[in-house]
Amino acid sequence: MTSSKKILVLAGDGIGPEVMREVAKIVNWFRAYRGLDVDIAEELVGGASLEVHGVPIRDEVIQRAHEVDAILFGAVGDPKWAHVDFNLRPEAAILALRKELDLFANLRPAQVFDALADASTLKAEYVSKLDLLIVRETVGGIYFGTPRGIETLPDGTRRGINTELYTTPEIERVARVAFDAARKRQGHVCSVEKSNVMESGLLWREVVTSLQQAEYPDVTLTHMLADNCAMQLVRNPRQFDVIVTGNLFGDLLSDLASMLTGSLGMLPSATLGPLKEDGRRAALYEPIHGSAPDIAGQGIANPIAQILSFAMMLRYSFDRDEDARLIETAIENILNTGLRTADIMTPGTARVGTEVMVAAILQEIKRLSGQG
């Protein structure tokens, strides 16, 4: 018997596979006990795919990604491949998926669990109860703009070129995602660019402003220059509700915001494509953290970002808010008992590895639901 819905699992490199192996136990529990009726397929991406197939992602895998309802992604990146061309690096796999599936809106929440307020490098009084959402554009901007490349001038000087480029529709559609999200939150969007030095930033500011006036008068819109935003995120992060920004600034600011929560190992993300006529939309869920080659293979990686990414999938792709909350509550409760992976250790807490952390969270999910 086949299920109507499909998930594609792409564990990738480094800590990706060892975390995914454990998190699969939670996914399978939801299939067994909560009626999550999905087929699961797995494929290689990143360095793992390079190793076997000579490319970071095969066309067949992109095709498969088009066909499924949701993708659960681990992490890509392996220093072994740092010397090869950009289009052959492990990172090209995630960039190709974003581009090919038109996954333009990357939602990166930064929420501080009460139990972890002390794990932040910022004082707890600045980060406790923090709850912000970064909406990052992910298929445009300087990551994809042309011309690009490295060229050699007649005098032998070499020149590296990338182009920051945004069009009105590209800005509008990502701003819409941010405004819609704000309506379900505190009703405040802060749009971030460098309109003081960049034309693409100036256009960004104009387009977001017009859209707010025309379609979202109920949402409060403010603007901030990207450098100031970086500073404000560490000075007073709770001033933000939703931040909307381009690809490059979003990459930087979301790493920065994630550290406010104590660890990069805590934060999930969802990357969404346009809504199609049949009501479906391509969606990829991945932790914000990378492949962490320095700790890969040791069984010590924090699985929480990957588990929370699955929770986001339940909420956004399968309309299962209750199941998502079940996971989030279980994680909160387990953190309250003092269990910690190495990256979020504070004095007086107990250190466990990936496997024990996942087992504890699954146990708590069972207890809360009274199932399994």
Q: Which residues are annotated as a binding site for Mg(2+)?
A: 227, 251, 255
> Does residue 95 bind ligand IPM (CB under 6 A)?
yes
Burial state string for 344-365 with b = 16 or more CB within 10 A and e = fewer than 16: beeeebeebbbeebbebbbebb
> Residue 94 touches which of ligand IPM, Mg ion, none (CB < 5 to 8 A by kind)?
ligand IPM
Q: Which of 201, 181, 286 is nearest to 241 (CA)?
A: 181
Size of the site for ligand IPM (CB under 6 A): 5
Q: Is 255 a catalytic residue?
A: yes
> Does residue 91 bind ligand IPM (CB under 6 A)?
yes
Q: Is 131 a catalytic residue?
A: no
Of residues 244-273, those binding ligand IPM (CB under 6 A): 251
Q: Is 194 a catalytic residue?
A: yes
Q: Rounded to whole angstroms, how far apart are CA atoms 290 and 11?
A: 11
* Backbone phi and psi for residue 134, each to the nearest 5 degrees, phi listed first: -100, 125
Catalytic residue among 37, 114, 218, 227: 227
Identify which of residues 195 and 258 has a Cβ nearer to Mg ion in the complex: 258
Annotated binding site for NAD(+), which residues?
290-302
Q: Helix, strand, or coil here: 242?
A: strand
Catalytic residue among 69, 78, 143, 241: 143
Burial of 258 (0-12, 13-18, 19+ CB in 10 A): buried
268-272/105-111 β-pairing? antiparallel
Q: Residue 222 is inside which H or E element, if any?
A: strand 220-225
> Rounded to the nearest whole angstrom, what is the least distance from the CB of residue 313 to Mg ion in the complex?
20
> Does residue 91 bind Mg ion (CB under 5 A)?
no
Q: Helix, strand, or coil here: 131?
A: strand
Q: Is 180 a catalytic residue?
A: no
In contact, 42 and 10? CB cutoff 8 Å: yes
Residue 121 DSSP code: S
Candidate ranges 15-23, 37-45, 246-254, 337-345; the one touching Mg ion (CB under 5 A): 246-254
Q: Which two tokens stand for residue 169?
A: 């529709």
> Residue 18 touches which of ligand IPM, Mg ion, none (CB < 5 to 8 A by kind)?
none
Q: Is 251 a catalytic residue?
A: yes
The one among 91, 241, 251, 343 contacting Mg ion by CB under 5 A: 251
Q: Rounded to whole angstroms, how far apart are CA atoms 354 and 344?
A: 12
> Residue 343 touches which of Mg ion, ligand IPM, none (CB < 5 to 8 A by kind)?
none
Annotated binding site, which residues?
98, 108, 136, 227, 251, 255, 290-302
Largest Cα–Cα separation, the chain: 73
Alpha helices in the chain (DSSP H): 15-33, 47-53, 59-67, 91-100, 124-127, 168-183, 199-215, 226-235, 247-260, 304-316, 321-336, 354-369
Q: Which two tokens stand for residue 118?
A: 């002390």
> Residue 69 touches which of Mg ion, ligand IPM, none (CB < 5 to 8 A by kind)?
none
The one among 10, 11, 20, 94 contacting ligand IPM by CB under 6 A: 94
Residue 85: HSE in the Cβ half-sphere, 13 Å Cα cutoff: 6
> Residue 95 touches which of Mg ion, ligand IPM, none (CB < 5 to 8 A by kind)?
ligand IPM
Q: Which two tokens stand for residue 43?
A: 């494929």
Identify which of residues 251 and 323 has a Cβ nearer to Mg ion in the complex: 251
Candidate ranges 87-95, 177-185, 191-199, 216-224; the one touching ligand IPM (CB under 6 A): 87-95
Residues forming contacts to Mg ion in the complex (CB under 5 A) are 251
Residues designated catalytic: 143, 194, 227, 251, 255
Residues forming contacts to ligand IPM in the complex (CB under 6 A) are 77, 91, 94-95, 251
